[in-house]
Structure 1
Amino acid sequence: MDPAYLEHLISDVRSAVQHKEATQWRLDTVSAGGTAPTIGSDDDARVFAFPATADTAAYVAQFRNIDFSSLRNDLANIDLPVINQFDALADEARQTTSYRGLRKLFSSRPIEGERALAWMQSVDVSSIHTILSGIDAALGSTDHNEFIGLHIGSLKGQIEADLVRLTGWPIEWISADTINQHNQAVSSIQAARATEHALEAEVQRASRALCEKQAHEELVRTDISVLDHITDGRVRLGPLKHLTLPQIAAASPSELMTYDGVGEKTANQAIAAARSYSQDVINSQIPQINYQDKLPCTPYVTALANLLTYRDNLRDLPLNPLILAPVDPGTPVAIAGVNDLITSGTFQRPHRRIDSEEAWSLYAVRAAEFHAYGDSGAGTEVPEDIAEHIADITLRGTLHASLRGYQAFGAKFVLAQKKALIGDEMGLGKTMQALAVLAHLKEERKKHALVVCPPSLRINWQREITKFTDLPTYLIHGPNKDVALEAWKHNAGVAIAGFPETRANRLLEPAHIPQVDIVVVDEAHRAKNPHSQQSQGVKALTEAAEYAVYLTGTPLENRVSEFEVLLGYLDPAMNEKLDNVRGQSSGFKKAIAGIYLRRNQQDVLDELPPVVEIEEWVEPKPGDVDKYEDSVRRAHFMDMRQAFSGKESAKMERVLEILGDGAEAGKTIIFTYFRSVLDTLMMVLHDRAYGPIAGGVNHEERQKAVDAFSSAEAGAVLVCQITAASEGLNIQAANRVILIEPQLNPAVEAQAIARAHRMGQINTVEVHRLLTPNSVEERLVDMLANKRAVFDRFARDSVTADSNPEALDVSEAQLIHQVIKAERERLGETPRL
């Protein structure tokens, strides 16, 4: 027997044996049935691919009329051994090639091999392949796993109906190229994210190094007597009192035992206690950025700057793109649910290294983002049951900013409670918390949001929403407001309306809005009068919306009852709850804890530089005194307040003196209540003045003035009417504030100061209060101290109250009456209004 012929024969028959085994597996697989082959899924979509495989054939078999019994009979009629048995027969057959020539004289005849050879020669390999290929075709594949006889196109209707039944979502057929384009985009996104993770690791390393340095400095300053508490006073520390904690922690027992009175036990205990305490101090550290002492924190700031600037380039990247297995060209693919596949655009994001000098320049304008990194949200306390609910919430949605920990907590508080008042102190980013809620709800298909705000802030809200989210905005104002309202109803997004629209536009009534998922009310204290039309409009919208968030840094301006009105809009049962706790010292705070959240700057912004408030008592000029006394005789309160602020007045001279240091003091904001004083300031300051920000100046012009002031050189002055600029504007570019005269409401002054002293400020803020002795201003300073006390007691710390809060406050009209009366009595005039 020719060995080459034999090997060819073995190969042919072996192929038939393998084909039968493969066909047997396909028959078993397809007849068992299968599920729709999925290549990826998420909460919104599921993608199915139908390649030429037995798994696909098994799934679609339910839609085809296959006679499995007949196919099994056809397969059973093919009598072939299994592969292991065949390989044994082949080895026997190979013995026949050596039984020839002289070997026949010295070896026995290979009878089994001859039988095996004869059997292989009798096998009709071609016919077997034909039969098996027919079975494969009936199942939907050949011996090479290629589709023949199975046409997905003819079964799409049945497959689509089954996928709808399976997922409950509509079905769209897409090409394999779409999948592969999506996968290429995802790969580039993953590469960009890998770079981001590498930069995050650099930040973490720099953070650990800075924290260890901070801890070391703290430990060096700490007296070793703290170890008494750890050891319960059992260790004799006297002989070691000249050492520092780091020195003890780094020492070996033998080194400490060189000091008189220190034995092995004392040395071991002192070292263990020092190391334990040191580790606790290191673990408690939060990296501190000190703009005045840059050297220790420069590596951390530089690493953060590289991370934050790189993240700027990632803002258009999908956050959680669908991960899909690759598919071969030509493979039919179906997607159920939302088709968010990425089929265009490149997501390559090269990284440019930033040096330390550029990093500090970036910090100067984006300090809030630097401090937001890794913020834990300390300073926020809520009842335990609410805290547990908040812990279960993960913020979703696209927000192009880093939230501070307390801001993320505030957004989750709203989501957990659905209706809430965020009363954070001015400058803590209440707007960003509301935007986080809007972005999250959009991901949950809560699409219609309505922002109600003072008219002057409509543009500001539109800018903030556009800058930090991907939500479309619609201004409900001007001649096209009805068109904008209809577009919002149809397209969803965020409608922005001023308080006047809530009382003047019937289309904003809940009956005319099909669905408001969330209403955001900025400067919500403006809705405190339950009898006003705009307050009633806000209340109706609040009741109609599933979610509502009120934002105000001054929930209590005059009367505690007005604060309770706002809480009652959010919770109709609030009045009853408060009635039940009258007279209880802690009952009021507990009753409103579920809807009222307030954090103060000192609680959550450790890095915020201080405010230095300076009361400057300016001696008036004789002419100003004459003008003032005439106003008192006429009992004209507003003239009394303006008498000391003329062009040639001592106050104007003092303003110029304060501004005399020019660029050394940075930039200044000047606030006054009166338009006449505003005009005087603009005239006196000439071209160094920006603005004015005042009533009658449209919102676009106000924002332009703020932008120009922010980009101006040091020494610039922004002139503002306090009632027009105390809300909504972010002016961290200024580090000095001048208040020309005291205001009737301390909350207005606090809001004005907060325009500059807010998250992102890196310089100490000077506040100069210009006051005139022996005048209405001195009386106001004394009387308004009571207003500040009322706020601190009832609203500063999420509210405490006693049984008669109304008795602690005076109205604005009463205050004016009392001041005029006191001044007339001081000047010997008849007390009258």
Structure 2
Amino acid sequence: MPSINHDWVEADQVIRRIPPDAPSIAESMLDGLDCNSLTLAQALELSRVADGLRLHLRPEVFDLTGTADLETDVSPRGLQGKLFEYQANGVAWMADRARRAGGFILADEMGLGKTIQIIALLLKFRPSPANPALIIAPTTLLTNWQQELLRFAPSFTHLLHRGSNRAGISNDLARADIVITTYDTVASDRALIESVNWRWIILDEAQAVRNPETARRKAIENIPREHMVPMTGTPVETSLRDLWSLMDLAVPGLLGNLSSFEASYTDDVAGAGALSSIVGGLILRRRVEDVAKDLPERIDIDLPIDTGVQFSDDYMTLRNRVLEKYPQAGHLVAVNQLAMLCAHHVFPDRDGMEIDEAIRLLPHSELMSPKLEATLELLQEAFANGRKVLLFSNFNGTVQLLERVAGLLPDAYWNAINGSTPQAERQEIVDAFTEFAGPACLVLNPKAAGAGLNITAATIVIHYTLYWNPALEAQASARAHRRGQTQPVRIYRLFYPDTVEEVMLERSLRRREMGDAVMEDAEAEKADLRKAIDMGRGGS
């Protein structure tokens, strides 16, 4: 077999001599690298910087698209749940790419179960306290990761690295298999995070680091790790620069440095096409319609949202104030007031102003809440994928809140139906929503638009607020999940754990398990009220 030390090559079954100085030039190009064990990124970098020789890479170097050799039986030991077929295939694909390239991008569309696939992957390549996994996510998703790990992989130990009680030395981090933290915490604790040798780094909602100039992106790129996996349903939000940023984290050096990348690839369809031969085999991207045969007609996703210290304090203050003011009817009044606070802090405390005026005057610094932020993340991905969304809220002011932050989202059709919408106009609004050629969102009050309307153009339903009466939620979800719907419908319920919303969610789940024909009795109603009030102070 020829090597870089030979001055001949075999071409068309003929031995041909090459210039005598070629071996020394090739050795200089390699600069100490072993030509028999180059990574894909190293080979590509050599092809870009080669001086004196033109380095030609065979097409099979880029062939990461094959699936014939992937495992067909993926059932990691310790997984408490069953994977759909496409999810099992996804885990097998990820395991293969991790072995061959070190990293990849998981870009499945929202609602297809990226989290459970990552958990299954971690069970196949288990982290340990000596070589842990780091999951970096937006603040709103920390609780969801904790709950999903407990649900699907209880054998893992995990700790939350966040807030004033977070670890101060690396030994404190090396106490669990998995550490969960936020992007901003990583940027703040850069030296501490870099002192640990991570087996895996998972970047949830990785579009948060699409800008390579930000402090959070720079903090992440130098963290020592074996594998890094950006997770995002929108790997390209604004330009191909986004893709470079994420892929350079997953497989460092694969696309060269940023300046050479931007010089080599135009930011258009042609540039994306040229890139696909290199990165296509390192991005796992399935849309709902691609795997619809594997999916149930309805996918229910309960999304817990991390409250943060400020919300928790506000919640308990409001609870105590209402119970003191209304000692007789306090439980019922408190439940309603606390439900308003869970929707947004502007609703229960607006100093006598009309809600429209209160929202208009709300300082920008006080506009965002954890739930509103989580809603924007869902809408961002839905719109980027051209989806139509029904967003249900008990409070009409939610429309004004969304109007104030809509500039952060891609262009889309917006409208609303509530009790003030004339009956004659409601179907016209639904028709315009249905016929609009692009992403769209209808904000609906479930009491006004939760029954009688057929809105099967929507495939995503977001319950921004939950309901004391479970039948109201069922009727609202049925606007999209009904006869005539040809796609799976994803139904999100956003809730704050350890609040009145958790009790509402439990009531909804209990109702579905019992069946709509079975009614709650009065004692159950009273017990739920007591539990709702006790939530947040350590009661249950």
TM-score with structure 1 length normalisation?
0.30
Name which structure has the greater RCO, CA cutoff 8 Å, separation 6+: 2
Structure number with the higher helix fraction is 1
TM-score with structure 2 length normalisation?
0.45
Structure ID, larger Rg: 1
